[in-house]
Amino acid sequence: MTKQADALDSLASGGISERAEAVRELGRLGDEQVLDTLLTATLQDKSPAVRLAAASAAADVLARYRLEPYREGFASSRRAELILQLRSIDPGRNTGLFQVLACAGEPAVVRNLGRGVRDPRVDVRTGALVGLERLVSSGSVNGDPRMARELDELLDERRLRSDALLGLARLAWRAGLWQLRGKAEQLAGRLEERWLPQLDELLDGFPEKLGSEHVLGCWIGPGLDCGEQRPDRAASVFLILLPSTLVVGGSDSLQLVPWSLEDGRIGCAALGQGDPLPVRVLRTWFDGEDDAEVLQVGPTSYGRLVEKELPAVFDLLTLADFDTLAMARQLLAMLDPQLSGRAAGNYCRGVLAVLANDAATARERFGALAAAKRPRPEVFWHLAQLELGVGARAKALAMALRYLEAAHRNSPFAAVAQALVDKG
């Protein structure tokens, strides 16, 4: 029996905890065929916890059908029927229905979610804000003016309660709709006094507009939309954004191309054909992490790489077929203050020193790392290359052997290291 079948069986006959876990499992793995079952549980299960979990799970399923090429897997006629059904249900029955509506894949539902923010019931307002975030953070609406326009109109409403207004301002920041900062500032004269410290804290980190400084750095695109989880994932794509150049690609190939940013749009032929694409930086749920920093270029989302993920990307740069000197120096100047003194940070510094033709610094970094208790195997490959650079072939072979003894089969240098050893 498949996991999906097991989950359906538990939902039909299990206790509260089993049913709650069953709907979560269907949200992680299920396709559009389980939506009716999840919606039935959303509205009819005896447990409020199961009803909320079922709504979230239904939203998770729908979130997998928002972007191409998956969108066509959920028929437009059924999408329209679902939206019509949800619009007719009082959200007070289950505020999780806002999430389902948000992930249905039609930007026009932003107006329905806005009406929920106006509701006098605090739980309904909260649920509507959660739904709004799931909608406006999706790559499917990146650049759609309806998102900012709806939030702008809501922030103008004098009858909205303070919690809703502050929630909308926070959403505008999290969703990268930074053109609404002015409206957020105006709330200082409208919010109840007890909410003002939270507004001040929000405004401290709320940029007035997107600048190149917000997008520079290292990103990874795992083939997921914001708020999406998917068992069948595409190959990851890396972006390394430097002041005027961009490294883009994956484990198979990388290219170095120019890019530009103007009026919230990024121009780069390698990221999309035709006109420049809308770009924004968000803080939202992405690839299993809450409050993740996300760069969204058109419909495609990229998460900010953390230090422990950088070594694998930098290793790929050493195999690139373009000149890395200027790029490495820029990248080192940009990242060095942010890198820690731990092994991953110093490994990155060592690789960038290699790429910048600074053999002395690279040898110092990798030599110290090699003396650690459990060094990264690739340290020895880089030392082998440094020894080859000074003509010390015997030492290079010894380092290459140490690398091969410890390296994973998928390590990017395995083939070339083996060839070096075989040649002797």
Q: Determine the pLDDT at residue 377.
A: 97
DSSP for 380-412 reads: HHHHHHHHHHTT-HHHHHHHHHHHHHH--TT-T
Which residue is it, tokens 């110092």? Answer: 364
Helix axes 35-44, 3-13, angle to 10 degrees: 20
Q: Determine the pLDDT at residue 167.
A: 98
Q: Determine the pLDDT at residue 252.
A: 83
Cβ atoms of 369 and 389 within 8 Å: the answer is no
Q: Determine the pLDDT at residue 41.
A: 95
- The reported pTM is 0.94
Cβ atoms of 229 and 60 within 8 Å: the answer is yes
Q: Determine the pLDDT at residue 234.
A: 83
**Identical fold, 3-204 and 212-305:** no
Cβ atoms of 103 and 227 within 8 Å: the answer is yes
Could you tell me where the beta strands, DSSP code E, fall in 237-276?
Answer: 237-241, 245-249, 254-258, 260-262, 265-267
Q: Determine the pLDDT at residue 5.
A: 87
Cα gap 267→94, rounded to integer Å: 43
Kindly list the averaged pLDDT for each block of 10 residues, start to end, along the chain of length 424: 82 91 92 94 95 97 96 95 95 96 96 96 97 98 98 96 97 98 96 96 97 96 95 90 94 91 94 89 96 97 96 93 92 95 97 96 97 95 96 96 93 93 87
Domain boundaries, the chain: 3-204, 212-305, 310-423
Cβ atoms of 224 and 63 within 8 Å: the answer is no
Q: Determine the pLDDT at residue 57.
A: 97
CATH of 310-423, one of 1.10.10, 3.40.50, 3.10.20, 1.25.40: 1.25.40
- Its CATH architecture, for the domain 212-305, is Beta Barrel (2.40)
Domain 3-204 -> CATH class: mainly alpha
Contacts 24+ apart (CB under 8 A), 37-46: 37/8, 37/11, 39/100, 41/11, 42/94, 42/96, 42/97, 42/100, 43/89, 43/93, 43/94, 45/19
